[in-house]
């Protein structure tokens, strides 16, 4: 794994494994930082866009805060308009089926968020909640039913699945026309290849690029670094940046000098799942930083009992970058918005509606 | 496109468009360089491997010459042994079908080379040569026949096709189990993704990596650069290097500082199709250079009327790199060897033979 020296990061100075001790040690700074972001993301002062506010207003940081919440709202409104137009024109409402296996709290929470988002734009959502000890065959059987159901345009299996279920086998069972998560290897291949287009782009990386677009960031010709190479975020993010003519370097757990390579990037997307790994010294001055990392750490002082952290040490990075996404309210809400966007695309395609 | 200052490259100092003038200007140096490589690649003096000879023996260059011809011969011998074993054990001989459309001399020459290579290892080759004005439907019809024929394990459509034929549509018609070129997007997706394996790896990039393996070059943890991002070479080469835990940067026509990025690489694979673009100053000292570029330039003094050039200015690079492939006799013969390897793999898979 990545090695990260998080001990002196001003925001949260501790690795996940020692959070209790670390939190006690710098508890006040920790809470201050948390409040700061929440304030920013709701300030709404227009700079380059109504959704970009200037962190310098509240601290010495100079980076513009890319407010994912606000951009996601904008996108949901656009989708709601399209869903209405579709309903009025051809009497069809897009449908998304979500399959949840087991009782993982985080997974259940993600599913609730997605269902709520569907409702907000007029997409009909269907949920199957299977018991923790459900068999692979049962999961696939439900996918099969949704594959055959014309009122379902998108199928999503909430990850992670219980360990005894073969994730690949389950995901492969989703017919490609309804694979709104875009995880099918055929989709990834089409995303990677020149002159080909995937049916769907995976939601989180699509959300990252959408943020860059909506902030007016030029990608073409820029140097970009992606930290992490997961099938779900890092890999497709790198492929997308390359498709948009960035010169891309992929940093991962075997990279010997991640800091040096990251510091070369005009655009940085992180998806390592290593809280606060990316320090201020890793950031090229005036770079744009999109933090897709999201790790929950235990936090007894927080009403929810935990706090999400990104891969980037926000306080340090925001003094060096030109724009940065916070965690939470950065990439997270965009992921959900892109799921709705993919479901709408699937429905339009299924009904040949433009 | 890439901009390249080839005018002062000691080996061949001219862009393809002005070859006649340029050739006349530095004709003698040009021929000297050409002879030098041919001599080296047949010397066979053993250093790190029987197929690696030291360029310093004939010039001041220090790089070991990676002799693709010799490695390819080694691989063909291994394949021939396996083909014999298969024939003796289950009475089956692998079959490769090649479809050639039109009268392009280069394409016809490639097909001849491939058929000859098949014969040398005991793989049965089948050829369909269609007229230049054949329809897309005709090409697909022949693919369909080969798809259904159990004696055919691999199908290859020789590129480039006449412009009015949709290449994607034709390549997609090849059933994935016989796609020995590995160009199917599903294969590329599986190549890109972690924990997935493609049925076939495209031949040229597979040959590049095989050269690194057989030369004992460690890939894991190294910085690698790939110049070019074609579906056939650059993209899969980058994905393969990443799969082997290199930290990969992809340089392409929109990259603003290709020289700087290339110079960071311990391993460089070039697939730009820009003769002599990569100068000595682009190479990191002691880097390993795999030149998959291959551009024929007109050369009236050459018996064949043309001369192939790589992307790398060989004379300059060989003084700086630790090892380098020549052009010709570098990556080219490995591409053909990998085609045989993929065809053998397809046949073994079809007959469940291990």
For residue A130, being part of any structural domain is answered with yes
Helices A234-243, A185-192: crossing angle, 10 deg rounding: 30
Angle at CA of residue B305, ends B301 and B311, nearest 5°: 95
Q: B234: which residues sit within 8 A by CB, 6+ positions away?
A: B226, B227, B228, B250, B252, B269, B271, B272
In this structure, the answer to whether residues B300 and B219 fall within a common structural domain is yes
In this structure, the answer to whether residues B234 and B301 fall within a common structural domain is yes
The nearest alpha carbon in chain A to B264 belongs to A261
Residue A190 and residue B185: Cβ atoms within 8 Å? Answer: yes
Longest dimension (CA), chain A: 60
In this structure, the answer to whether residues B173 and B289 fall within a common structural domain is no
Q: Which of A114, A222, A319, A329 is catalytic?
A: A114
The nearest alpha carbon in chain B to A225 belongs to B249
- Mean pLDDT over A11-32 rounds to 31
Residue B254 and residue A221: Cβ atoms within 8 Å? Answer: yes
Cβ contact A28:A334 at 8 Å: no
Of A181, A214, A233, at which residue does a domain stop? Answer: A181
Closest-CA residue to A113 (of A79, A75, A158): A158
In this structure, the answer to whether residues B141 and B226 fall within a common structural domain is no
Which range, of A52-61, A189-198, B25-34, B245-254, averages the lowest pLDDT? B25-34
For residue B353, being part of any structural domain is answered with no
Assign B155 to helix, strand or coil.
strand
Residue A192 and residue B187: Cβ atoms within 8 Å? Answer: no
> Which domain CATH number covers A52?
3.40.50.720
- Residues of A with Cβ-Cβ distance to B254 under 8 angstroms: 220-221, 245, 247
In angstroms, the Cα distances linking A43 to A35, A39, A207, A289 are 12, 6, 22, 20
Of A150, A181, A212, at which residue does a domain stop? Answer: A181
Task: For residue A219, give how far its alpha carbon lies from the nearest alpha carbon of chain B (Å).
Answer: 11
The nearest alpha carbon in chain B to A176 belongs to B186
> Which domain CATH number covers B117?
3.40.50.10860
For residue A81, being part of any structural domain is answered with no
Q: How many domains does chain A have?
A: 2
In this structure, the answer to whether residues B302 and B224 fall within a common structural domain is yes
Using CB atoms, pick whichever of A193, A247, A252 lies closest to residue B185: A193
Per the model's pLDDT, the better-predicted residue between A321 and A59 turns out to be A321
For residue B87, being part of any structural domain is answered with no
The radius of gyration computed from the CA coordinates of chain B, to the nearest angstrom, equals 20
Please report the number of interchain residue pairs, chain A to chain B, with beta-carbon separation below 8 angstroms.
101
Q: What is the pLDDT of residue B273?
A: 96
- Mean pLDDT over A56-81 rounds to 86
Interatomic CA distance for residues A340 and A84, integer angstroms: 14
Using CB atoms, pick whichever of A185, A249, A250 lies closest to residue B190: A185
In this structure, the answer to whether residues B218 and B326 fall within a common structural domain is yes
Q: What is the pLDDT of residue B283?
A: 98
Using CB atoms, pick whichever of A168, A184, A192 lies closest to residue B192: A192
Angle at CA of residue B240, ends B239 and B244, nearest 5°: 115
Q: What is the pLDDT of residue B62?
A: 87
Task: Report ipTM (2 d.p.).
Answer: 0.85
Q: What is the pLDDT of residue A81?
A: 98
CA B136 to chain centre: 27
- Residues of B with Cβ-Cβ distance to A201 under 8 angstroms: none
Q: What is the pLDDT of residue B2?
A: 56
Above 90 in pLDDT, residue A36? no
In this structure, the answer to whether residues B34 and B103 fall within a common structural domain is no
Q: Is A69 a catalytic residue?
A: no
In this structure, the answer to whether residues A160 and A115 fall within a common structural domain is yes
Q: What is the pLDDT of residue B106?
A: 87
Domain of residue B331: give its range.
16-69+201-335
Residue B235 and residue A194: Cβ atoms within 8 Å? Answer: yes
Q: What is the pLDDT of residue B9?
A: 63
In this structure, the answer to whether residues A138 and A207 fall within a common structural domain is no
For residue B189, being part of any structural domain is answered with no
Interatomic CA distance for residues B17 and B63, integer angstroms: 30
For residue B246, being part of any structural domain is answered with yes
**pLDDT in tens for each of the 354 residues of chain B?**
454 444 456 554 333 332 222 232 222 222 223 322 332 332 222 223 334 544 444 446 589 999 999 999 999 999 999 999 999 999 999 999 999 999 998 899 999 999 999 999 999 999 999 999 999 999 999 999 999 999 999 999 999 899 999 999 999 999 999 999 999 999 999 999 999 999 999 999 999 999 999 999 999 999 999 999 999 999 999 999 999 999 999 999 999 999 999 999 999 999 999 999 999 999 999 999 999 999 999 998 888 888 999 999 999 999 999 999 999 999 999 999 999 999 999 999 999 999
Cβ contact A226:A269 at 8 Å: yes
Facing residues of A27 across strands? none
Return the active site residues of B. Answer: 114, 158, 181
- Token representation of residue B105: 């001399």
- Token representation of residue A293: 């990392």
For residue A56, give the DSSP letter: G
Facing residues of B96 across strands? B125, B154
Interatomic CA distance for residues B141 and B43, integer angstroms: 47
- What is the secondary structure of A36-47 as a DSSP string? HHHHHHHH---S
Residue B245 and residue A254: Cβ atoms within 8 Å? Answer: yes
Q: What is the pLDDT of residues A230-254, one digit of tens each?
A: 999 999 999 999 999 999 999 999 9
Q: What is the pLDDT of residues A106-151, one digit of tens each?
A: 899 999 999 999 999 999 999 999 999 999 999 999 999 999 999 9
Using CB atoms, pick whichever of A196, A223, A254 lies closest to residue B220: A254
Per the model's pLDDT, the better-predicted residue between A30 and A322 turns out to be A322
In this structure, the answer to whether residues A231 and A153 fall within a common structural domain is no
In this structure, the answer to whether residues A220 and A290 fall within a common structural domain is yes
Of A154, A181, A208, at which residue does a domain stop? Answer: A181
For residue A327, being part of any structural domain is answered with yes
Residue B249 and residue A251: Cβ atoms within 8 Å? Answer: no
Residue B254 and residue A242: Cβ atoms within 8 Å? Answer: no
Percent of chain A with pLDDT over 70: 83
In this structure, the answer to whether residues B65 and B206 fall within a common structural domain is yes
Interatomic CA distance for residues B330 and B68, integer angstroms: 4
For residue A22, being part of any structural domain is answered with yes
């Amino acid at each position: 794994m990545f090695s990260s020296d998080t001990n002196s990061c001003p925001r949260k100075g501790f690795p996940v494994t020692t959070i209790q001790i670390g939190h006690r040690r710098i508890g006040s700074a920790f809470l201050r930082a948390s409040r700061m972001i929440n304030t920013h993301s709701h300030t709404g002062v227009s700079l380059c866009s109504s959704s970009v506010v200037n962190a310098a207003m509240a601290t010495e940081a100079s980076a513009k805060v890319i407010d994912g919440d606000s951009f996601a709202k904008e996108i949901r409104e656009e989708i709601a308009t399209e869903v209405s137009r579709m309903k009025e024109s051809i009497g069809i409402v897009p449908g998304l089926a979500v399959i949840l296996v087991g009782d993982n709290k985080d997974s259940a929470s993600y599913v609730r968020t997605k269902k709520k988002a569907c409702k907000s734009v007029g997409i009909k959502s269907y949920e199957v909640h299977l018991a923790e000890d459900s068999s692979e065959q049962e999961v696939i059987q439900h996918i099969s039913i949704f594959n055959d159901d014309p009122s379902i345009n998108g199928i999503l299996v909430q990850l992670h699945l219980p360990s005894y279920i073969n994730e690949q086998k389950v995901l492969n069972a989703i017919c490609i026309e309804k694979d709104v998560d875009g995880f099918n290897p055929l989709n990834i291949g089409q995303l990677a290849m020149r002159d080909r287009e995937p049916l769907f782009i995976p939601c989180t990386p699509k959300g990252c690029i959408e943020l860059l677009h909506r902030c007016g960031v030029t990608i073409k010709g820029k140097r970009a670094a992606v930290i992490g190479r997961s099938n779900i975020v890092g890999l497709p993010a790198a492929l997308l940046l390359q498709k948009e003519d960035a010169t891309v370097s992929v940093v991962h757990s075997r990279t010997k000098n991640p800091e040096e390579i990251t510091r070369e990037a005009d655009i940085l997307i992180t998806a390592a799942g290593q809280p606060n790994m990316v320090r201020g010294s890793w950031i090229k001055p005036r770079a744009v930083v999109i933090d897709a990392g999201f790790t929950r750490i235990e936090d007894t002082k927080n009403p929810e009992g935990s706090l999400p952290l990104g891969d980037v040490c926000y306080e340090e990075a925001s003094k060096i970058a030109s724009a940065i996404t916070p965690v939470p309210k950065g990439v997270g809400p965009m992921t959900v918005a892109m799921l709705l966007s993919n479901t709408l695309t699937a429905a339009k395609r299924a009904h040949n509606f433009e």
